[in-house]
Amino acid sequence: MKYYENSTIFQFNWNQVAHAFWQRYPNPNSTHVLTEDTISRKVKNGILHTTRLLTKTNRVPKWGERLISKNVVKIIEESTVDPKTKTLTTYTRNLGYTKVMSIVEKVVYKVCEENPNWTVAKRSAWIDSQVFGFSRAIQAFGLDRFKKNCTLMYNGFNYVLAHMFPHTAQYMNPSLSQMGFAHLIDEGIKTSLAEDLQHSLQGKAEKVKDAAKKATDLAKKRAGTIYAAYQPEQS
Amino acid sequence: MNSIAETCNNLKREYDGCFKLWFSEKFLKGDLDDSMCSNHFKLYNQCLQQAMKDQNINIDEVNMAHLGTEQEKKTED
């Protein structure tokens, strides 16, 4: 299991961030996000609890076809919003295929201590795989990918925020606002790292191919084992 | 944004619109009464539950809470 965490600051107040969180999709660059549904939602002890189901497309790499037959990834997003303490917590996990890969991401958005008009996001991620012969490669790829996407995610959320709150955006630190728009045209908006990672792990796992190739001979011998290990996830 | 089931799209859109308004204009301003959109949600949810059944989605796995339970992973700080 790999663990990773980082913190980022948004130059928007917490209410704006909380508001924008529900309006991440659709956007022109999130075509891989297919659906978004609210499964349950309730206010309990002053805190809003929500569970959502997201689906995304994925491309299955050749070597993964034996493991994964479907081309849609389902993601469960649990969240709590506490308006009193101004805390938004999100917790996402992939549904099914958890033996092949399990990616859990937790993000806590709070008022920035240095500037009450800003919001700090503390992100933690747990990346795991239990596929014999592949787990290390998948985990390493996942972690690398996750780190690279931190900047993308940060810029993406800034883009969404800037469009929702242009008045606030005009007071943003110029270098920050520049950064917030630079990557977007090419890279698209990635508002949840875990979702992106969950997507990319299945979709772009060809990148692991090199590492996986070394394991191919072994994997072929053990294909029966892998398949058996994977079966419970399919049924 | 579309629902997982096309048949639920209209009900979802109506609910989402109501929720956005409620969240920013009521909840964030301290009004915790969440009845404003409950009728919209009921209709949308009925449709959604049936759709998840039809699509063989493991509803127990969907509904199993992780956040705030023993299932939740611990940060290493």
A209 at interface of B, judged by CB pairs closer than 8 A: no
Q: What is the ipTM of this complex?
A: 0.95
Residue of A nearest to B31 (CA): A46
Confidence (pTM):
0.77
User: How far apart are alpha carbons A22 and A197 in whole angstroms?
Assistant: 20
Average pLDDT on A55-63 reads 66
User: How far apart are alpha carbons A75 and A37 in whole angstroms?
Assistant: 11
Provide the pLDDT for residue A73.
82
Residue A6 to chain B, least CA–CA distance (Å)? 11
Provide the pLDDT for residue A130.
85
Provide the pLDDT for residue A150.
66
Provide the pLDDT for residue B39.
97
A189 exposure class (CB count in 10 Å sphere: 0-12, 13-18, 19+): buried
- Any idea how long chain A is? 235
Highest mean pLDDT, choosing among A2-11, A159-168, B39-48, B67-76 = B39-48
Residue A226 pLDDT > 50, yes or no? no
Average pLDDT on A84-88 reads 97
Interval A185-216: pLDDT, tens? 333 333 444 555 555 555 444 444 444 454 44
Angle at CA of residue B36, ends B14 and B38, nearest 5°? 65
**Which among A34, A43, A95 has the least Cβ separation from residue B34?**
A43
Average pLDDT on A83-93 reads 96
Provide the pLDDT for residue B5.
95
Q: Is B44 within 8 Å of A38 when comparing Cβ atoms?
A: yes
- Between A227 and A77, the more confident residue is A77
Average pLDDT of chain A is: 74
Interval A134-193: pLDDT, tens? 788 878 877 776 676 666 667 777 888 888 998 888 777 655 544 444 433 333 333 444
